Amino acid sequence: MRGVDAKSITMNEHTLQVLEFELIRERVAAEAANSLGVERALNLLPSTDGNYIQLRLDETSESRRLLSSRSAIPLGGISDIRGLLRQAQIGGVLNASDLLEVSSTVSSSRRLKAFLVKTGREQFPLLTDLSNSIGIFTNLEEGIEKAIGPGGTVVDSASPELAKIRSRRRTAENKIQDKLNGIVSGPQRSLLQDPVVVQRNDRWCIPVKAENRGALGGIVHDTSSSGATLFVEPQAVVEIGNEIRELIVQESAEVYRILAKLTDLVRQCEASLFTTVSTLGNIDFIFARAKYADKLDAIEPSLSTSGMTRLLSARHPLIDKSLVVATDVTLGSSENQILIITGPNTGGKTVTLKTVGLLTLMAQSGLHVPATRAEINIYEEIFADIGDEQSIEQSLSTFSSHISQIASILRDINDNSLVLLDEVGAGTDPEEGSALARSILEYLRSRGARVIATSHYGELKSYAFSTDGVQNASVEFDEKTLRPTYRLLQGVPGSSHAFAIAARLGLPAEVLSSASISERDVNSSTETLRALEDARRNAMTDANAAEEARREAEEFRRRAEKELTEYEGLRREIRQKALEEARALIKKTQEKASNIIADLRRNEAKQAEAEHLRQEIKLVGNDLEDEIEDLLTLPEQPASVETDLGRPLRQGDRARVTTLNLAGVLLSDIDGDGKVPVQVGAIRIVVPANVLRPLAPAPQKSLPVTSSSRLSLAEDAAQISQQITLLGQRADEAVNNVDQYLADARSAGLKRVRIVHGKGSGALRRAIHERLRTNDIVSDFFTAEPSEGGIGATIVELNDD
């Protein structure tokens, strides 16, 4: 067993092996960027902890979103340095290459942390949280970068002492080179075998002919294989050579001291480095899962703890997606605690079995699954006994192997186990095997396990039909082409189609005809089971429809009660708002009156001006009375009777709000959600269209109250409304819209129109009246009757063309 996560499911290796989960791990590992992620992927195991699984799934989804943004994830340059950390921990000194590997990892981790922080917590909260566990090791990174060059050697600037030693060594080496070059090119050149300078045993030498050994003098450090050449360090450079050797020893000691100092920095950061490395491995593993999910075109499954598994267009992840046939599977309801799949060989029964098992393992491992929709139960145990019937010899030893495996399964199952059995009971006498298979399935049913079993036994079809919680299923077979379609049909028992397949493969007709009686018996039994299964399914469909209707009725009653409560609250809110606006209006009017009174006092000598100001106060008082009456007195049941417009309500129509028993004017057409703003007195409310009833007289289509609402003179008069609504508009905008509307109304032949401006402060009404006085096409205008809106509307009579 591999290294197991503390939250992992108790999983036997046999199940992982037969479902080929190892191949899934290898394919995830192939997407990892470094050995840390590879290790995590190869150790991947399912979990039973719902919160832990959901976290893994969310991590995979989040990293897929980040990958889809085409951002380059900086995962390069990261190595598994845990061995180096342990070496430092026990007192070892890391060499320059080791330290360079540590530096590369910490600098890469710094860049990755900065990238994840930059992506933003709002969009990628899980990855951002993981970045918090990545340490920043500025001193260590800068120390290694300063001391060790890209080639993995300690540079001169690592310390002043090292720079001094290497400077002296270079000077000595230059001096010795000069002396040796002088010998090589001088009068003693004839003593040499070749005019070159070479190194032997870390000493600088020249090749001297053997017979001239005594003529040059010095120390012999090596000879050629023939003995004809001696490699001599001339006496003139021996002292310099000794100095260089001493400098080399000093240099080695200083380099060791520098490496030891840097290793000590690593040791000081050991705990944080271990945490960082672990996090880096986890992040790489998460992105490996995301990349694999993208390759599979997979989705995040929803998790269930109710025992239900629902897969829509599920595909086996190890089969080429251009070749695999997607299938739908439902398992775990009261109808199909156990699913028995029957059908022809090579029809896809085993693939369906493995698809459900493998997708369950993947989901519980935090992997996305190849399907268009997936709800997968979290199982405590998953068991599988799957063998390739086409490739193994049916013998006692094979039967014994399967029974031993099933016996082990039966000992360990509970009511949250998934059991997958391929050709249950096969490999022995058909009658005994069928009875044994039925007993095994009944035992599993009594223990509450969820089961998918494949079989050729006809007796199991009858068992499925007659037993609660057990459902027949089959792999579809095209009887015209005599080939399987690989689609799973639940609720339908299958047939092996032995006669059809035998005929296609060339079995003589006389052989088939002698078996026709048995075929008719088998077909008759199968058709009877199918008919009974259809009847039961139809009955369950009707029962489900009745239950759905009951739930809908209950939901409708609940919504009605809720809406009634909400509308009662709305009535109170309208009255409260009206009261608040009235108070505000009173305050505003008091301030205006105070200003006028102050003007009166300053102008007491000017009687004409004083009289004018008194009239202004009177007008303000009248406006105030009108406004307060409008605000505090909600309209009662409208005087106009309800009518049928023969069309939907539109902007400008008058209607009764049935839930409030108030009359109002629609401020716009009904939107896509079935709601519309309505002006009720001085209050604007938004209500569902289904609570509105049109009031007579019903206006025709309201003219849009925008500056672009000019109609062609050729349009029919019926297209021009007899009223225009200006509620909520500014005075200048409203005046322009009135001019345009009146021109269009007269062109359409209208003689009398209505302008709805509302009561408000009276400013909009006064601005419109002022414009009407100067409009040549207006013959007269006056305030509307109470039934037509009172002071909130003006009736306009138009001149003839």
- Nearest CA to 584 out of 524, 632, 536 is that of 632
d(CA 337, CA 449): 7
156: left (phi over 0), alpha (psi -120 to 50) or beta: alpha
Of the pLDDT bands very low, low, confident and very high (cuts 50, 70, 90), residue 708 is: very low
In sequence order, the β-bridge partners of residue 694 are 655
Residue 88 or 515, more confident = 88
**Residue 571: its pLDDT value, please?**
63
Average confidence (pLDDT) over 751-771: 85
d(CA 516, CA 502): 13
pLDDT for residue 534 is more than 80 = no
Average confidence (pLDDT) over 68-79: 88
Reported as half-sphere exposure (CB side, CA atoms, 13 A), residue 162 has a value of 18
In this structure, of 217-226, 361-370, 575-584, 727-736, the range with the lowest mean pLDDT score is 575-584
**Residue 579: its pLDDT value, please?**
64
**Residue 702: its pLDDT value, please?**
39
Residue 525 or 109, more confident = 109
Whether the CA torsion 131, 133, 138, 141 is positive or negative: it is negative
SS3 for 325-391, per residue? CCEEEEECCCCCCEEEEECCCCCCHHHHHHHHHHHHHHHCCCCCECCCEEEEECCCEEEEECCCCCC
Of the pLDDT bands very low, low, confident and very high (cuts 50, 70, 90), residue 478 is: low
pTM for this predicted structure? 0.61
Q: Which residue has the tokens 């138009």?
A: 798
Residue 251 or 404, more confident = 251
Of the pLDDT bands very low, low, confident and very high (cuts 50, 70, 90), residue 519 is: very low
Using N-to-C axis directions, what is the helix angle for 516-602 and 458-466, rounded to 10°? 40
pLDDT for residue 447 is more than 60 = yes
**Residue 263: its pLDDT value, please?**
96
Sheet with 470-478, side-by-side order of all strands:
381-385, 417-421, 450-455, 338-342, 470-478, 483-490
**Residue 560: its pLDDT value, please?**
63
Residue 414 or 530, more confident = 414
**Residue 704: its pLDDT value, please?**
40
d(CA 600, CA 607): 9
Q: Which residue has the tokens 């009658």?
A: 431
User: What torsion, rounded to 10 degrees, do the Cα atoms 101, 106, 111, 114 define?
Assistant: 170
In this structure, of 54-58, 238-242, 464-468, 757-761, the range with the lowest mean pLDDT score is 757-761
Does the N-terminal peptide bond of residue 697 adopt cis geometry, omega within 30 degrees of 0? yes
**Residue 698: its pLDDT value, please?**
40
**Residue 400: its pLDDT value, please?**
78
Residue 203 is inside which H or E element, if any? strand 203-209
Which CA distances in Å does 523 have to 495, 534, 548?
Answer: 8, 16, 36
d(CA 56, CA 362): 11
* Strands, E assignment, 416-458: 417-421, 450-455
**Residue 795: its pLDDT value, please?**
92
One-letter amino acid of 310: R
**Residue 705: its pLDDT value, please?**
41
20: left (phi over 0), alpha (psi -120 to 50) or beta: left
Report pLDDT digits (tens) over 611-649: 665 666 665 555 555 555 554 444 444 445 778 888 889
**Residue 130: its pLDDT value, please?**
94
DSSP state of 652: T
d(CA 786, CA 567): 27
d(CA 171, CA 177): 10
**Residue 393: its pLDDT value, please?**
41
Of the pLDDT bands very low, low, confident and very high (cuts 50, 70, 90), residue 343 is: confident
Q: Which stretches within 47-154 are classed as H helix? A: 50-68, 82-89, 96-119, 125-131, 138-147
Of the pLDDT bands very low, low, confident and very high (cuts 50, 70, 90), residue 70 is: confident
Average confidence (pLDDT) over 316-320: 91
Q: Are 231 and 146 in contact (CB under 8 A)?
A: no
pLDDT for residue 717 is more than 60 = no
**Cα 790 to the chain's mean position, in Å?**
58
Residue 693 or 714, more confident = 693
Average confidence (pLDDT) over 583-612: 64
d(CA 506, CA 517): 20
**Residue 438: its pLDDT value, please?**
92
Identify which of 29-43, 346-360, 484-498, 724-738 has the greatest average pLDDT.
29-43
**Residue 122: its pLDDT value, please?**
84
pLDDT for residue 389 is more than 50 = no
Average confidence (pLDDT) over 74-99: 94
CA-based radius of gyration for the chain? 47
Average confidence (pLDDT) over 444-468: 89
Average confidence (pLDDT) over 187-208: 87
Residue 348 or 509, more confident = 348
Of the pLDDT bands very low, low, confident and very high (cuts 50, 70, 90), residue 394 is: very low
Of the pLDDT bands very low, low, confident and very high (cuts 50, 70, 90), residue 558 is: confident
Residue 257 or 217, more confident = 257
**Residue 193: its pLDDT value, please?**
84
Q: Which residues contact 120 (CB under 8 A, 6 or more apart)?
A: 128
Residue 252 or 509, more confident = 252
Average confidence (pLDDT) over 786-796: 82
Of the pLDDT bands very low, low, confident and very high (cuts 50, 70, 90), residue 711 is: very low
Average confidence (pLDDT) over 547-551: 73
Q: Which residues contact 564 (CB under 8 A, 6 or more apart)?
A: 659
pLDDT for residue 578 is more than 80 = no
Whether the CA torsion 202, 207, 211, 214 is positive or negative: it is negative
DSSP state of 529: H
